[in-house]
Structure 1
């Protein structure tokens, strides 16, 4: 399954060429193409560093906690901007780097470790416990059957009331 891409490769290349070959400013191209200025800056930076490959869409990647730590420490030591760090380490979006930076600031090295994906399993334990292992006594069986018959009786009464209401609607 392919990831949906907002701007295709040809569009990105066209914008980059307007900036680099025709010497338009990123602000002018952003107004011309009606896209945010930072997108053009990012594309130009990736193009300058990695060539045309830098503009290709990338599938979701998972990064090791060591790599994340390397990026965060480089930002701190060298005072890199988020854009510079994402270009230098070939990370597709600055929001990823920003999240790592916040996680490291809040939780330390534990915040950079991979997190469990998906929804947590919570209902399975409750369902398993509901079945008793020992057999029911005769009295318990009769009480259960009595309760089941009461519920069935109530259901039939409500059904009959609905049928009557449909046959004789009030004006």
Structure 2
């Protein structure tokens, strides 16, 4: 997804608030992908002010309890995705939608933190197996190795 400067977002929000155009008109005027982008910027500006339009450079990680409470609020029908994202200062309502989907598919386990990154290529068990293979030489093989070493030196 393309990132837009805070000034660009502010310009579009001001045009909307000054009634110079609706979501669809401003989307077409500036060549944005979807009118929901403009709606999200306007909502962020109304609830958080200028700070709500700034590009977030950090990846927020939310606790299991926090996710559980937000999903519970949504499922009880008290608030929409947009209202929840505004109240809890979550950048994108789609984050909450993802939590709800995960909860519906996997239950509470879907909200727990997941391991990230590439899995390690070697496990400790593989290392142990290699050591065992090295140690298991027959008496004949050991004698042969010793004989070959003697010939070399």
Q: TM-score range by the shorter chain?
A: 0.7 to 0.9
Q: Is the 8 A contact 1:5 1:57 kept in 2?
A: no
TM-align CA RMSD: 2.6
CA-CA distance at 1:38 after TM superposition: 0.4
Relative to structure 2, which stretch is displaced further, 64-73 or 122-131?
122-131
Q: How does 1:20-169 map to 2 (within 5 A)?
A: 20-35=17-32, 36-58=34-56, 59-124=58-123, 125-132=125-132, 134=135, 136-137=137-138, 139-141=140-142, 142=144
Cα distance in 2 for residues equivalent to 1:126 and 1:135: 16
Q: How many residues align?
A: 142
Q: Which runs of 5+ in 2 are unaligned?
A: 146-153
Classify the secondary structure of the residue corresponding to 1:78: coil
Relative to structure 2, which stretch is displaced further, 28-37 or 13-22?
13-22
CA-CA distance at 1:29 after TM superposition: 0.3
Cα distance in 1 for residues equivalent to 2:2 and 2:91: 12
> Under a length normalisation based on structure 1, what TM-score does the superposition of the two structures give?
0.72
Cα distance in 1 for residues equivalent to 2:104 and 2:12: 36
Relative to structure 2, which stretch is displaced further, 16-25 or 115-124?
115-124
Relative to structure 2, which stretch is displaced further, 4-13 or 110-119?
4-13
> Under a length normalisation based on structure 2, what TM-score does the superposition of the two structures give?
0.80
CA-CA distance at 1:137 after TM superposition: 3.7
CA-CA distance at 1:82 after TM superposition: 2.1
Larger RCO, structure (CA 8 Å, separation 6 or more): 2
Which protein has the larger Cα radius of gyration, Structure 1 or Structure 2?
Answer: 1
CA-CA distance at 1:79 after TM superposition: 4.7
Q: Which runs of 5+ in 1 are unaligned?
A: 144-171
Relative to structure 2, which stretch is displaced further, 108-117 or 126-135?
126-135
